[in-house]
Amino acid sequence: MSCQYHQHLLLPLLLSLLTAGVSSVEVQRPRGVSLSNRQFYEEGKPFTCLDNSATIPFDRVNDDYCDCKDGSDEPGTAACPNGSFYCTNAGFRSSFIPSSRINDGICDCCDTTDEYNSGAACQNTCRELGRKEMESLEKMAEIAKEGYRLKQLLIQEAKRGLEEKKKKLQDIQVTKKDLEDKVEALRTVKETAEQPEKEAKERHLKAWEDQKALIRMEKDMARMAEVFLELDDDGDGFVSVAELLSHSELNPDSDDSFTEAEAQVLLGGVDKVDTVTFEAVWNNIKEKYISEATADTTAPAETPQEEPFSDNDSEQYPEDDIPEEEDDDDEEDDDDEHDDGDYKTPPTPTQEKKDDDDEGTMPPYDQETQDLIDAAQKARDEFDKSERALREVDDQIRNLEKEISFDFGPNSEFAYLYSQCYELTTSEYIYRLCPFNRVSQKPKYGGSETNLGTWGKWAGPEDNIYSVMKYEHGTGCWQGPNRSTTVKLTCGKETVVTSTSEPSRCEYLMEFISPAICQEPSSLESYFHEHQEL
Residue 137's pLDDT is 81
For the segment 354-365, what is each residue's pLDDT rounded down to a tens digit?
Answer: 444 556 789 999
Residue 73 in any domain: the answer is yes
Residue finishing a domain among 130, 163, 187: 130
What sign has the CA pseudo-torsion 229, 231, 232, 238? negative
**Average of per-residue pLDDT across 176-195:** 95
CA atoms of 142 and 79, how far apart (whole Å): 45
Burial 371-405 (b: 16+ CB within 10 A, else e): ebbebbeebbeebeebeeebeebeebbeebeebee
Question: What pLDDT is attached to residue 178?
Answer: 94
Check pLDDT > 80 for residue 534: no
Q: Is the pLDDT of residue 331 over 70?
A: no
pLDDT class of 280 with cuts at 50, 70, 90: confident
Q: Is residue 222 part of a domain?
A: no
Whether residue 317 has pLDDT greater than 80: no
pLDDT, tens only, 27-70: 578 999 998 899 999 988 999 999 999 999 999 999 999 999 99
- Rounded CA gap, 357 and 216, in Å? 11
Q: What is the pLDDT of residues 428-462, one digit of tens each?
A: 999 999 999 999 999 998 889 999 999 999 999 99
Average pLDDT over residues 135-158: 90
Q: What is the pLDDT of residues 73-86, one digit of tens each?
A: 999 999 999 999 99
pLDDT score recorded for residue 258: 84
Instruction: Flag whether 503 is in a domain.
Output: yes
Domain boundary among 130, 147, 169: 130
Dump the DSSP string for 294-336.
HHHHHSPPP-PPPPPPPGGGGGTS-GGGSPPPPPHHHHHHHHH
Helix, strand, coil tally for the chain in percent (to 5): 50, 15, 40
Query: What does the H/E/C string look like for 228-259?
Result: HHHHCCCCCCCEEHHHHHCCHHHCCCCCCCCC
Query: What is the pLDDT at residue 448?
Result: 93
Answer yes or no: is 501 within a domain.
Answer: yes
Mean pLDDT of 327-350: 42
Question: Cα–Cα distance between 223 and 209 in angstroms, integer?
Answer: 21
- Residue range 93-102: mean pLDDT, rounded: 93
pLDDT of 56: 94
Whether 299 maps to a domain, the answer reads no
Amino acid at 430: I
Structural domain includes residue 385: no
User: Tell me: the pLDDT tens digits for 363-387?
Assistant: 999 999 999 999 999 999 999 999 9
Q: Is the pLDDT of residue 223 over 80?
A: yes
Q: How far is CA 58 from the centre of its chain?
A: 74
Burial label for 350, CB within 10 Å (0-12, 13-18, 19+), is exposed
- Which among 103, 130, 157 is the end of a domain? 130
Overall number of domains in the chain: 2
DSSP-derived letter for residue 112 is -
Write down the pLDDT at residue 125: 94
Dihedral angle at the C-alpha atoms of 170, 174, 179, 181, nearest 10 degrees? 150
Q: Which of 123, 101, 97 is nearest to 112 (CA)?
A: 123
Structure confidence at residue 10 (pLDDT): 46
Mean pLDDT of 381-394: 96
Residue 35 included in any domain: yes
Burial (0-12, 13-18, 19+ Cβ within 10 Å), 519: middle
Establish if 39 belongs to a structural domain: yes
Summarised one tens digit per residue, pLDDT across range 251-271 is 887 777 888 888 888 888 898
Kindly tell me if the per-residue pLDDT of 220 is higher than 60. Answer: yes
Looking at residue 358, its pLDDT comes to 58
Q: Which tens digit of pLDDT belongs to each residue from 470-528?
A: 999 999 998 889 999 999 999 999 999 999 999 999 999 999 999 999 988 764 443 33
Q: What is the chain's mean pLDDT, rounded?
A: 83
Structural domain boundaries enclosing 422: 415-513
Q: Which helix (H) or strand (E) holds 214?
A: helix 126-231
Residue-wise pLDDT for 408-428, tens only, equals 999 999 999 999 999 999 999
Q: Is the pLDDT of residue 340 over 50?
A: no
What contacts 240, CB < 8 A, 6 or more positions away?
Answer: 271, 272
Contact 249, 286 (CB under 8 A): no
89 versus 23: the higher-pLDDT residue is: 89
Indicate the pTM of the whole model. Answer: 0.56
Diameter of the chain by CA atoms?
160
Q: What CATH number is given to the structural domain containing 459?
A: 2.70.130.10
